[in-house]
Structure 1
């Protein structure tokens, strides 16, 4: 979910929590792919027919590609959430994640602190 629409819909804290949960879902997928890779490599040396070996090679390729994609997606979502979290503290009063979106562009928004009314940019 995009930063601005997520903040407007759920608030910053809920958006941040959802982003972290979403990113950790990809980490679980990468872990499952690693287990699949180990099983496929073990099976590669167990079977002797060509069809079984080809199936294991295809499983190795699929688990490897999906695992790499899931790991990259995990890191991207995690870094995106962390970058936004570093900007969520009000420069005026130091209050964390208590703001509303005042003006939004594509990747950046102007937010206003609920406590001291200070306005600052947040986003990429």
Structure 2
């Protein structure tokens, strides 16, 4: 994961990466909300149906539940990864937030070495 994070930071920068992560995570939250609405609607349709349509409604309930669970897991994963990186994005010396350049990576430690653009202080962002 840290090599992908390294490539994203290097290619588009931290701030754009962070914004994209938040937008993507919140899109998954909206998907989870919509699947919850569809789940309730499918359960209501099951209650009033008979025969083969009941079987189809059971299938819809299962599909909506699976999509909802996947979406909420993805939402939490993306949000936590973005927040983990954001908590480490301030320069320890000058406090400048998110304005750094990527210097290198340490694959064995799952870390990214960065340098502040304002004061040239080096620090490490953990990708775990």
What's the offset of the Cα at 1:6?
A: 1.3
Q: Mind listing any 5+ residue stretches in structure 2 that lack a counterpart?
A: none
Q: State the Cα distance separating 1:28 from its structure 2 match.
A: 1.3
How far the C-alpha of 1:4 sits from its partner, in A, is: 1.3
Give the distance between the partners of 2:80 and 2:89, measured in 1 at CA. 14
Structure 1 regions of 5+ residues with no counterpart? Answer: none
Structure 1 stretches of 4+ moved >3 Å? none
Q: Give the counterpart of 2:35 among 20, 30, 33.
A: 33
Taking structure 2 as the reference length, what is the TM-score of the superposition?
0.91
Between the aligned partners of 1:56 and 1:98, the Cα distance in structure 2 is: 51
SS at match of 2:46: helix
**Which residue of 2 is the match for residue 121 of structure 1?**
124
- The Cα RMSD (Å) is 1.3
- The total of aligned residue pairs comes to 123
| Deviation, structure 1 residue 105 | 3.2
Q: What does 1:1-124 correspond to in 2, within 5 Å?
A: 2-48=4-50, 50-106=51-107, 107-123=110-126, 124=128
The CA deviation string for residues 39-77 of structure 1, in whole angstroms up to 9 with x for no partner, is 1011011112x2111001010001001100110010000
Deviation, 1:102, is: 0.5
Q: CA deviation at 1:86?
A: 0.3
